[in-house]
Structure 1
């Protein structure tokens, strides 16, 4: 399953094999720190995120329509090389801006992006309503982006 998913995203057999090895190495570490309720869906998310990060590192992206379409193969659209996603100045701004978020937004952002938890897990862990979790993440991302752009230029 892991290889098939990696191949679907990466479209390269060797890269997919390498990705499978790296994912399983990551799983050994992650499973010690995460309590996983639904392993298959969690593993799927970990694989998907890993492959998307690999594609992002190569400056290639998969359109959402292509990923959702099971009948057609995934098409990769190469993007022109651009500046790195985060430089040191932006990373410093990110750290500072996380502290400026409302507590609920900060908690939801950290659980979703840093601990890779799904909406329902965040809702159960924090006691927030599921729709509130989605709202906190969306608003927190927007506020972070604004704050990082403001602080990244200063």
Structure 2
């Protein structure tokens, strides 16, 4: 297994980024990333509050970095890496909350998971009802809600995919969520 070479203090972050983009050499990227691993770990620990999960995230962020750094113009690596790390953590937290859209309460889509394993029939019925209610939404609301909650796109990504104005996207998601809740409460048992 190759070891990560020590970062040469005479080589700036910008130089190492340029060298990695040109060569694709993972040792160059590893040398650059090594100095920032404590920063990335700190960001992850702040969001996840679990050391082991945070350590795993540090490695996952490095894996993302391999491709993302090739495709982005980076002026200040440290700041860019901080934002990348924060966004990674937020998306992971969002994913962990995402899959229980079936439990209806004031937080509707972001609600906590069902607690009992014998609720499978109830969960299935709620999913079927959810699918039916999604079909009752306007086309704009349906698209926006599906992209935002089910595909975990952010507002700007939903706007990019649909071509809708960003303010309209926010409105479609908010109104769609409210309409889904009304539909489910009206048609639920």
Aligned to 1:7: 45
State which drifts further: 8-17 or 137-146: 8-17
SS in 2 for 1:148: helix
* CA gap 1:9/1:124 in 2 versus in 1, 3 angstroms: closer
1:45 aligned to which of 70, 84, 87: 87
Tell me the alpha carbon deviations over residues 78-101 of structure 1, each in whole angstroms, 9 at most, x when there is no partner: xxx9844x8222111111111111
1:17 aligned to which of 55, 58, 63: 55
Bigger Rg over Cα = 2
Report the count of equivalent residues.
123
Q: Which runs of 5+ in 2 are unaligned?
A: 1-38, 73-79, 100-111, 116-121
Alpha-carbon distance, 1:56 to partner: 8.9
* CA gap 1:90/1:9 in 2 versus in 1, 3 angstroms: same
Asked if the contact 1:5–1:48 (Cα under 8 Å) also holds between the matched residues in 2, the reply is no
SS in 1 for 2:152: coil
| TM-score, length basis structure 1 | 0.58
* CA gap 1:52/1:102 in 2 versus in 1, 3 angstroms: closer
Distance in 1, Cα, partners of 2:139 & 2:129: 18
1:120 aligns with 2:156: yes
Asked if the contact 2:45–2:54 (Cα under 8 Å) also holds between the matched residues in 1, the reply is yes
Q: Superposition pairs for residues 1-150 of structure 1, below 5 Å?
A: 3-18=41-56, 44-52=86-94, 54=96, 83-84=114-115, 87-150=123-186
* CA gap 1:149/1:140 in 2 versus in 1, 3 angstroms: same
SS in 2 for 1:48: helix
SS in 2 for 1:87: helix
* CA gap 1:141/1:102 in 2 versus in 1, 3 angstroms: same
Asked if the contact 1:2–1:47 (Cα under 8 Å) also holds between the matched residues in 2, the reply is no
Asked if the contact 1:6–1:48 (Cα under 8 Å) also holds between the matched residues in 2, the reply is no
